[in-house]
Amino acid sequence: MDPALVALFIGAALASLFMAWVIGAGSSGATPFAPAVGANAIATMRAAFFVGIFGFAGAVTQGGNVSEAIGSGLVGGISLPVTGVILVLVLGAGLMAVGITTGYPIATAFTVTGAVIGVGLALGGTPVWPKYRQIAAVWVLTPFVGGGIAFTIASLLPRPDVPERYSIPFLAGLVGAVLVNVQFSFLGAGGTSGTIRGLGQRTLGVDGVASAVGVTALAALAIAVVVWRDIRRDEAGGLRRVLLALGSLVAFSAGGSQVGLAIGPLLPLLDDVEMVSAFAVLVGGGLGMLVGSWTGAPRMIKSLAQDYSSLGPRRSISALVPSFLIAQLAVLLGVPVSFNEIVVSAIIGSGAAVGGREAVDARKLLLTVGAWAGSFLLSFSLAYAAGSLLF
């Protein structure tokens, strides 16, 4: 094997690890548990520990779809050379690092997607319009769908005619029904990708739509009953445990979604560097995010928790349920998505349900949306200009 190629690949891998660390230290490592910390359900350092563990698990078991999309689904006709991959990763990680140190809300998904497209088009690649339309649809609809679901849940939870001993178990059962139908990389027949529901069907020796619905309903009912009994025995403690479980699931989903932003550009290079497997790259990206969560996220968790301290467990639950659902949809579609966008939209929706229009700061909202769009445009412009000049 060409030593120069190996050296360049090592350089790209180090840039990928840096990107993974930045992602773990940034909003992806902070937002899943920040509402729980703000609601005094868990301490900051413990939250950072758990978000790292669950993020790593999500990266290893669910990171393939988004990684493939970032690696080969954004630009047609070419495969990025090693130097182009390094440029993408360094540019994306650099902008993210600037955002973390300055407090400017640089969106990870927007930044990396813009960098990959910018470098790819500069090198003569062709646009993949169907994928762009899919990504744009998810990005545009996320605030409305996530905020709308959060608004609905937050509107129902405090109502006296919808007791929490029933509404919270129902939400938990809904989340459980989605979870058992989520794809994991090792649960299929012969070690392929599969779902908990599919594993249950194979264990019971049944097949078909009716059995799939039955297994899903049984799992949802079991989870709802456990939560119902817990809340009935200790309402405050039960709400806190549901909040922590949702934070763990959102952290897991963040790992599955965000690791692709760090290691996706590396995947096309594996054909030339045969001694490294895609699974090893996923594990490396997951470890980079884990270290970032443990070393860099506590500061941001503490900062975000102050903003979320007025939410309480009910509004936090209202925000985390749609965050989990949207994140898993993005993983299924293989679409890079910003967790900053997901969680902020859900927080705004739950806040509007409680405080009305006065609870929404229109100016701050416009600045945040502008920062999201600016992240993509800035990254794309810099990447296209650098790619045109350097290659």
Give burial (CB, 10 Å; 0-12/13-18/19+) of 6: middle
pLDDT the model gives residue 27: 66
Statement: residue 149 has pLDDT above 90:
yes
Model pLDDT for residues 55-101, shown as the tens digit of each residue: 999 999 998 888 888 888 899 888 888 888 888 888 888 887 777 67
Most confident of 159-173, 186-200, 229-243: 229-243
CA distance 17 to 90: 10
CA distance 242 to 316: 10
Residue 361 has pLDDT above 70, yes or no: no
Determine the average pLDDT of the residues in 312-321: 85
Distance separating alpha carbons of residues 235 and 230, to the nearest angstrom: 7
pLDDT value at residue 216: 95
> How far is Cα 38 from Cα 142, in angstroms, rounded to an integer?
24
Element (H, E) at 127: strand 126-127
CA–CA distance, 225 with 189 (Å, rounded to integer): 30
Could you tell me how far CA 251 lies from the centroid of its own chain? 7
Q: Kindly write down the DSSP assignment for every residue of 16-45, as one continuous string.
A: HHHHHHHHHHSHHHHTTTHHHHHTTSS-HH
Collapse the DSSP code of 123 into the 3-class scheme (helix H, G, I; strand E, B; otherwise coil) and give the result.
coil
Residue 304 has phi, psi (to 5 degrees) of -65, -35
pLDDT band at 44 (very low <50, low <70, confident <90, very high): confident
- Position 359 scores a pLDDT of 55
DSSP state, residue 160: T
Least confident of 191-195, 246-250, 287-291, 351-355: 351-355
Q: What is the pLDDT of residue 364?
A: 67
Average pLDDT, the chain: 85
pLDDT at 197: 93
Find the DSSP H helices in the chain.
3-25, 27-30, 34-38, 44-62, 64-72, 82-102, 108-122, 129-156, 164-179, 196-204, 209-233, 235-263, 278-295, 297-308, 312-333, 339-355, 362-390
By three-state DSSP, how is residue 158 classified?
Answer: coil
pLDDT, one tens digit per residue, over 243-282 is: 999 999 999 999 988 888 888 888 877 776 767 788 888 8
Tens digits of per-residue pLDDT, 186-233?
A: 787 777 788 999 989 988 888 888 999 999 999 999 999 999 999 999
32 has pLDDT over 90: no
Q: Is the pLDDT of residue 353 over 80?
A: no
The pLDDT of residue 310: 60
pLDDT at 161: 72
Say if residue 308's pLDDT is above 90: no
Would you list the DSSP string of 258-305?
A: HHHHHHGGGGGGGGT-TTS-HHHHHHHHHHHHHHHHHHTHHHHHHHHH
Q: How confident is the model at residue 131 (pLDDT cuts 50, 70, 90)?
A: very high
Predicted local confidence at residue 298, as pLDDT:
84
